[in-house]
Amino acid sequence: MSTPPQVVIPGTVADEQTSSIQRVALASAIGCIIEWYDFFLYGVVAGLVFNKLFFPNVDPFVGTLLAYATFAVGFVARPLGGIIFGHFGDRLGRKRILVLTLVIMGVATFAIGLVPTYASIGIAAPIILVILRIFQGIGIGGEWGGAVLMAVEYAPDKKRGFYGSWPQVGVPAGLALSTGVVALLSRLPEDQFLRWGWRVAFLLSALLVLVGIYIRSRLYETPAFRKVQESRTHAAVPFVELFRSSTKEVFQGMGARYIEGVGFNLYGVFLISFLTSAAIKLPRTQALLMVTAAAFVMIFMIPFFGRLSDRIGRRKVFMWGAIASGVLCFPAFWLITATRDPLWIFVAILIPFGFVYPAVYGPEAALFSELFTTRVRYTGVSFVYQFSGIFASGLTPLIATSLLQKADGKPWLVCGYVFLVSLISVFAAFTMTERSGKPMLE
């Protein structure tokens, strides 16, 4: 006999709880949009501007590699931020850390917009750029874990996938915002865009951060962490406790994360440079708008797959998304290189990036959160997401550019790499314990 659906009556406790989780999830999502705008803006501009203005005296291919290397530095710094802020997030609470990470990200991004070029101050220019990128990485390293835990730890057991997907929307929305702003500024004459236009996108971060600080300052601590506070059962050193009690879960999470990081940075970062290269010759604004449109579609697909994971299981949705991402890379790049037609190129981006990638990213917040106990959850999800981000995300544009060069401009080695990564992630997710709909580990 089926259970009748629960009716939420306005003004009741159930209604207040529903309103509370919706406010928290929305606030987490808005904060993440701002943070990821800051972080991805660097990647969008790296292959278009930084290679010319900060590494001008080298071969264009080498300049692009160096620009993407500074992009990767941010991912190398992210685990450090994850460990630092994960520690204090598990010791002091989620809310305080979220405000601090937002400030760090905003100041670093704003400062990038003020850095003089190589022509003005020489080698000091790329050095300052790298230092600021490190601070961006440290800030975002503590951001993601806290944002998803604010939503997941507030959510009912049978809706964790759905509400946990709301802060995940911050990634495509942040990417859409960053690529959209750069696409708009790209309408300037080339000399003006390179001289001052790109800087506007970074300076806008100051306004966004003020909005984010206001929103996050109005949140309350999560019920799960309040229980730890009341019982005084904090882990003395969460990072040590994490590997003492959950080593297997750490490696499961990092393996599963592999295809998610590769997929996003392949289409969201590397592909923009590939499409605008001499091989494809797509106008920069057009390439940026295509990625922006795919990211916009993703905003709606991520909650869809988050909700689906609540209904049929997170591992199942995640594994199907992972293997589909690996397979679809081949026809996507075939369409791009064989047709060079803007319509088919857009289809090649939209399907794998806009519709399929969300099947991996939508359930991910809840999937990783369910691996760990409350005492080490902030540290656990942060370390899994950020440490794996070094090879899964930060190195992807470098690896893809190198494989493309090795294959004389043909993308099939890149596609083979993505497919291999998808198999690793499917295996990692398969070994996890399904916990959708069940109480979280305390």
Residue 265's identity, in one-letter code, is: N
120 or 229: whose pLDDT is higher?
120
Q: Give whichever of 282-286, 391-395, 414-418 has the largest mean pLDDT.
A: 414-418
Q: Do 407 and 274 form a contact (C-beta atoms < 8 A)?
A: no
Burial 100-114 (b: 16+ CB within 10 A, else e): bbbebbbbbbbbbbe
Residue 283 pLDDT grade (very low, low, confident, very high; cuts 50, 70, 90): confident
Per-residue pLDDT, 58: 67
Q: What is the pLDDT of residues 235-277, one digit of tens each?
A: 788 888 999 988 999 999 999 999 999 998 898 888 888 888 7
75 or 365: whose pLDDT is higher?
365
Residue 165 pLDDT grade (very low, low, confident, very high; cuts 50, 70, 90): very high
Average of pLDDT values for 188-196? Answer: 87
Per-residue pLDDT, 305: 97
Pairwise CA distance, residues 179 & 198, whole Å: 11
Indicate the SS3 state at residue 340: coil
Pairwise CA distance, residues 37 & 179, whole Å: 9
13 or 39: whose pLDDT is higher?
39
Per-residue pLDDT, 13: 37
Superfamily of domain 17-218+236-430: MFS general substrate transporter like domains (1.20.1250.20)
Per-residue pLDDT, 12: 38
Q: Do 292 and 403 form a contact (C-beta atoms < 8 A)?
A: no
Per-residue pLDDT, 45: 81
Q: Do 50 and 70 form a contact (C-beta atoms < 8 A)?
A: yes
In the numeric block, the tokens 């598990």 are attached to 90
18 or 213: whose pLDDT is higher?
213
Pairwise CA distance, residues 422 & 359, whole Å: 13
Pairwise CA distance, residues 230 & 363, whole Å: 30
Weakest mean pLDDT among 6-20, 43-57, 109-123, 170-184:
6-20
For residue 4, pLDDT beyond 60: no
CB proximity list for 353: less than 8 A, separation 6 or greater: 263, 267, 268, 291, 294, 295, 298
Per-residue pLDDT, 428: 97
Q: What is the pLDDT of residues 49-63, one digit of tens each?
A: 877 788 777 667 777
Residue 9 pLDDT grade (very low, low, confident, very high; cuts 50, 70, 90): very low
* Domain spans, the chain: 17-218+236-430
Residue 302 pLDDT grade (very low, low, confident, very high; cuts 50, 70, 90): very high
Q: What is the pLDDT of residues 128-147, one digit of tens each?
A: 888 888 888 888 888 888 88
Residue 93's identity, in one-letter code, is: G
CA distances from 168 to 32, 95, 205, 298 (A): 8, 17, 20, 10
Count the Cβ atoms, other than its own, within 10 Å of residue 189: 9
Average of pLDDT values for 172-188? Answer: 85
CA distances from 394 to 37, 137, 168, 234, 383 (A): 16, 10, 18, 32, 15
For residue 2, pLDDT beyond 70: no
What is the 3 state secondary structure string of 125-140? Answer: HHHHHHHHHHHHHHHH
Residue 365's identity, in one-letter code, is: A
Q: Which of 191, 259, 208 lies closest to 30, judged by CA?
A: 208
Q: Give whichever of 5-14, 86-95, 198-207, 416-425 has the largest mean pLDDT.
A: 416-425
Burial 252-277 (b: 16+ CB within 10 A, else e): bbbbbbbbbbbbbbbbbbbbbbbbbb
Q: Which of 176, 385, 181, 206 lies closest to 293, judged by CA?
A: 176
pLDDT, averaged across the chain: 85
Percent of the chain at pLDDT > 70 equals 94
Tell me the two tokens of residue 325.
Answer: 């991402």
Alpha carbon distance, N-terminus to C-terminus of the chain: 32
359 or 230: whose pLDDT is higher?
359
For residue 92, pLDDT beyond 70: yes
Per-residue pLDDT, 111: 92
179 or 438: whose pLDDT is higher?
438
In the numeric block, the tokens 């501009």 are attached to 45
